[in-house]
Every structure is written in structure tokens, then in C-alpha cells.
């Protein structure tokens, strides 16, 4: 092997090492960037939850003449429920009502609702 061959091989090895070094540096940089983005998104979501926490409450409602679960549910149902059927089903379970059961005037029903306001009852 001549001295020129040795230099060519040495130069090629150096190029391969440098290429490997650049690729490794690029991968580390991309990983760090991805980590920064993930942390910022998680922090943003966490601060949104803290700023507007929605808490589930329950209220008692007196049934008036002509009331039905459907028209009463309009007053308390919020976006936390997927649809009106899911909300009415929950109200039925809370009040031990079956499908098609007639509501009696003067009876009290429990309705769940969500609010971001802190409600403190005092006696």
C-alpha cells in the first residue's frame, strides 16, 4: 500500500466519522426540540385546566305541572355530556326513574350540572 492510498483511506475514514458526528448531533438537536415542544404543550394544557376547572354539582328541582325530564334537562345539561340522551339517562339513574315514568307535580328531582364557580354552602 502506498502512502497515497493510506492518505485516501484516512481521508475517507475522517469523512465517515464527521458524517456520523453530524447525524448524531442532528438527532440530538431534533430530540431536544421535540422535548421542548412537548413540555410547552403539556404546560399550556395544564394551565388551561387550572384557570377554568369545571366541577360537577347536584341540585334539587321541584317538578311543576307540565314538566318533563327533557325540558328540565335543557336547563342543566352542559358540554360535558355527549348528548341529551346520556344526560337524561344519568338523571333517571340518580332519581331511580324508569323510561316513560310519569313525573308528579311537587316531587323533587336531582340534576347534575357543571360549573367553574366555587359553590360553598353556608348554614
Query: Averaged over 80-87, what is the pLDDT?
Result: 88
Query: Averaged over 5-24, what is the pLDDT?
Result: 91
Confidence category of residue 105, pLDDT binned at 50, 70, 90: very high
Q: What are the backbone dihedrals phi and psi of residue 82, each rounded to the nearest 5 degrees, phi first?
A: -65, -45
Confidence category of residue 1, pLDDT binned at 50, 70, 90: confident
Q: How much is the mean pLDDT over the chain? A: 86
Which of the pair, 1 or 101, is modelled with greater confidence?
A: 101
Burial 87-116 (b: 16+ CB within 10 A, else e): bbebbeeeeebeeeeebeeeeebebbbeee
For the stretch 113-116, contacts whose Cβ atoms lie closer than 8 Å and that sit 24 or more positions apart, written own/partner, are 113/56, 113/57, 113/58, 113/59, 113/76, 113/77, 113/78, 114/54, 114/55, 114/56, 114/57, 114/78, 114/80, 115/54, 115/55, 115/57, 116/52, 116/53, 116/54, 116/55
- What pLDDT does residue 117 have? 77
- What pLDDT does residue 44 have? 64
- Could you say which architecture CATH assigns to the domain 55-115? Roll (3.10)
Portion of the chain with pLDDT greater than 90, in percent: 43
Portion of the chain with pLDDT greater than 70, in percent: 89
Domain spans of the chain, in order of start:
1-51, 55-115
Amino acid at each position: 500500500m502506498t502512502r497515497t492510498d493510506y492518505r485516501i483511506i484516512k481521508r475517507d475514514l475522517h469523512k465517515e466519522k464527521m458524517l456520523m458526528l453530524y447525524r448524531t448531533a442532528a438527532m440530538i438537536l431534533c430530540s431536544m426540540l421535540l422535548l421542548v415542544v412537548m413540555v410547552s404543550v403539556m404546560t399550556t394544557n395544564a394551565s388551561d385546566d387550572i384557570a377554568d376547572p369545571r366541577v360537577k354539582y347536584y341540585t334539587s328541582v321541584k317538578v311543576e305541572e307540565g314538566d318533563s325530564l327533557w325540558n328540565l334537562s335543557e336547563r342543566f345539561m352542559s358540554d360535558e355530556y355527549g348528548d341529551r340522551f346520556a344526560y337524561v339517562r344519568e338523571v333517571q339513574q340518580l332519581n331511580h326513574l324508569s323510561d316513560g315514568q310519569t313525573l308528579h307535580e311537587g316531587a323533587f328531582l336531582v340534576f347534575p350540572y357543571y360549573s367553574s364557580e366555587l359553590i360553598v354552602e353556608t348554614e
